[in-house]
Amino acid sequence: MPELPEVEQVARELREVLVGRRLDGLLHAHPDVLRYGVGLGPASFAGRSFAGIGRRGKLLLFDLGDRLVLTVHLRMTGRLSVEPSAAERPAHCHLVWALGDDEELRFSDARRFGRAQLLRRAELEADTFLRRLGPEPLDVELADMRQRLRRRRGTLKGALLDQSLVAGLGNIYVDEILHVARLHPRLVAATLREDEAVRLREAMRQILEAAIAAGGSTIRNYRRPSGELGGFQASHQVFGRAGEACRGCGGPVVKIVVVGRGTYLCPACQPKRRRKIPSMRRVRASAGKRT
DNA sequence: TCTAACCTGATC
DNA sequence: GATCAGGTTAGA
pTM over 0.85: yes
Whether A136 maps to a domain, the answer reads no
Spell A57-69 as b/e; 16+ CB within 10 A means b.
Answer: bbbbbbbbeeebb
Say whether A112 is catalytic.
no
Regarding whether A158 and A117 lie in a shared domain, the answer is no
**Count of domains in chain A?**
2
Marked catalytic residue, from A75, A205, A261, A284: A261
- Amino acid letter, A200: L
pLDDT value at A274 more than 70: no
Say whether A31 is catalytic.
no
Say whether A272 is catalytic.
no
- The pLDDT of residue A281: 44
Within 7 A of a protein CB, which nucleotides of strand B? 1-4, 6-11
Q: Which among A286, A264, A150, A139 has a CA at the least distance from the CA of A205?
A: A139
Regarding whether A148 and A126 lie in a shared domain, the answer is no
Rounded to an integer, the average pLDDT of A72-91 is: 96
Whether A212 maps to a domain, the answer reads yes
Interatomic distance A186 CA / B6 C1' (Å): 27
pLDDT value at A134 more than 90: yes
Residue A100 pairs with which residues in a beta bridge? A103
Interatomic distance A76 CA / C2 C1' (Å): 21
Regarding whether A160 and A119 lie in a shared domain, the answer is no
**Which one of A85, A106, A131 terminates a domain?**
A131
CATH number for the domain including A247? 1.10.8.50
- The pLDDT of residue A273: 75
Regarding whether A173 and A83 lie in a shared domain, the answer is no
- The pLDDT of residue A86: 97
pLDDT value at A287 more than 70: no
Say whether A58 is catalytic.
yes
- Cβ of A9 near strand C (under 7 Å)? The reply is no
Q: How does pLDDT run across A215-245, given as a tens digit for each residue?
A: 999 999 999 999 999 999 999 999 999 999 9
Residues 6+ apart with CB under 8 A from A215: A5, A9, A224, A228, A229, A230, A231, A232
Regarding whether A146 and A277 lie in a shared domain, the answer is yes
Whether A209 maps to a domain, the answer reads yes
Interatomic distance A289 CA / C10 C1' (Å): 43
